[in-house]
Amino acid sequence: MKTISPYQAAALMLCFSLSRLISFKPSGDNLLICAAGELLAGAALAAVSVALPEKLSIKGRLIPKLCAALSAAYLLLQLTLLLSDLAASTQYSFPDFYASPAMIASAAAAAAYCASMGKGGCGRAACAVIVITLIIFVLTAVGAADRFDPDRLSLAVPDRAQQLSRQLLYSLGTACEIPLALILRQSTDRPRRAALLWFSGHSLSWAAMLTLCAGVIGDHALTGIPIDTLSSYSKTSVIERFDALLLLVWVLCTVLAAAALLSGTGCCIKIISDKAGRFAPPIGALISGAAACLLTGQGVLLPASVMAALLGGAMLLGFGAKEVRGC
């Protein structure tokens, strides 16, 4: 059943991209190279998404269910990392004020509620959130434009190729937009347009914001969270700092991205068992929330290669999926 427009589908995927952008930590790598790696990864994933046939099914009962189970596990893992990242990054930026379990529990509950509204509700909310986020980005850019110096943009690092490959692997491993696209394609009548719209928004936002960070903050952007630093450095005549507004849009994007992941998990579980699929979103939120609480602050990270392999497995959903009622 086609329930959402390609714009709504693209907005849901963009929420995930923007949430990753706002919490992005370069860990010493050059920002321009990180942006290039992210663009290359996005292009590859968008090309795969566009090239996939509209409908392809595999005969048999076991293989589609296996693909669905693998995809559900991957989506829940991504949800856990998303919630953990929100809590860890917020604690890094605002160490005195926020308790991680409370943040994770609130975000997971909000995401489960959004997921219960269905893809249509999530899609409409995602469109509004994307507009608000882009307005905040533009305001932040206007406030920092005075301090932008093109001479701070440089590629003077000795290991450019290694940094690019590192960023490419990281992006491919953590990109959940394509599995989302594969799930959302069943609900939209123009899935290729959705993928292209997502890629345009993703490339523009990552390229523009990381370039702005590099040009305004310079080498200081290589440590910490550059977008967060930029927002606290940016100043206009009306608003002196933008970090509170950025926290608002960050949480909004994360909650909607989490809701999309929970919806996807529900779709995957429905393939295995129709009854279980109805309870999958709240139970998924509970499991991921608990796992995120345990993970936060532990510094546990799966290797990028494992993540990329899981992504490949999740993409098999596109081949194994059937038309699922209500999905």
Binding mask 180-219 for other proteins (x = CB under 8 A): -------------------------------------x-x
Q: With contact defined as beta carbons under 8 Å apart, do 164 and 33 qualify?
A: yes
Residue 47 beta carbon to other proteins: minimum distance, rounded to whole angstroms: 30
CA atoms of 291 and 144, how far apart (whole Å): 38
Tokens 């992006």 sit on residue: 171
Choices 145-153, 167-175, 188-196, 312-320 (CB under 8 A): range interacting with other proteins: 145-153
DSSP code at position 29 = S
Tokens 């990242």 sit on residue: 85
From the centroid of its chain, how far is CA 156?
29
Instruction: Please select the residue that binds other proteins; options are 40, 48, 109, 132, rule is CB under 8 A.
Output: 109
Can you list the positions of beta strands (E) in 83-226?
none
Q: Of 112-131, which residues contact other proteins (CB under 8 A)?
A: 112-113, 116
Choices 43-51, 80-88, 148-156, 258-266 (CB under 8 A): range interacting with other proteins: 148-156
Choices 80-88, 97-105, 261-269, 307-315 (CB under 8 A): range interacting with other proteins: 97-105
Instruction: Please select the residue that binds other proteins; options are 63, 102, 239, 302, rule is CB under 8 A.
Output: 102
Choices 17-25, 91-99, 185-193, 294-302 (CB under 8 A): range interacting with other proteins: 91-99
CA atoms of 216 and 187, how far apart (whole Å): 41
299 binds other proteins (CB under 8 A): no
206 token code pair: 């990552």
Instruction: Please select the residue that binds other proteins; options are 47, 55, 57, 94, rule is CB under 8 A.
Output: 94
Closest to other proteins by CB, 112 or 195: 112
128 token code pair: 């509004």
CA atoms of 189 and 203, how far apart (whole Å): 24
How many residues sit in the footprint of other proteins (CB under 8 A)? 35
**Residue 92 — left, alpha, or beta (φ > 0 → left; ψ -120 to 50 → alpha)?**
alpha
Residue 68 beta carbon to other proteins: minimum distance, rounded to whole angstroms: 24
88 binds other proteins (CB under 8 A): no
Who contacts 211 (Cβ-Cβ below 8 Å, separation ≥6)? 31, 32, 35, 153
Closest to other proteins by CB, 133 or 231: 231
Closest to other proteins by CB, 3 or 116: 116
Q: Using alpha carbons only, give the angle 45, 211, 91 rounded to the nearest 5 degrees.
A: 85
Instruction: Please select the residue that binds other proteins; options are 53, 158, 161, 325, rule is CB under 8 A.
Output: 158
Q: Shortest CA distance to 163 belongs to which of 300, 26, 307?
A: 26
Q: Of 242-261, which residues contact other proteins (CB under 8 A)?
A: 243
CA atoms of 95 and 251, how far apart (whole Å): 17
Residue 102 beta carbon to other proteins: minimum distance, rounded to whole angstroms: 4
161 binds other proteins (CB under 8 A): no
CA distances from 207 to 18, 21, 38, 250, 320 (A): 12, 10, 9, 18, 34
- Contact residues toward other proteins (CB under 8 A) are 93-97, 99, 102, 105-106, 109-110, 112-113, 116, 147, 149-158, 217, 219-220, 229, 232-233, 235, 240-241, 243
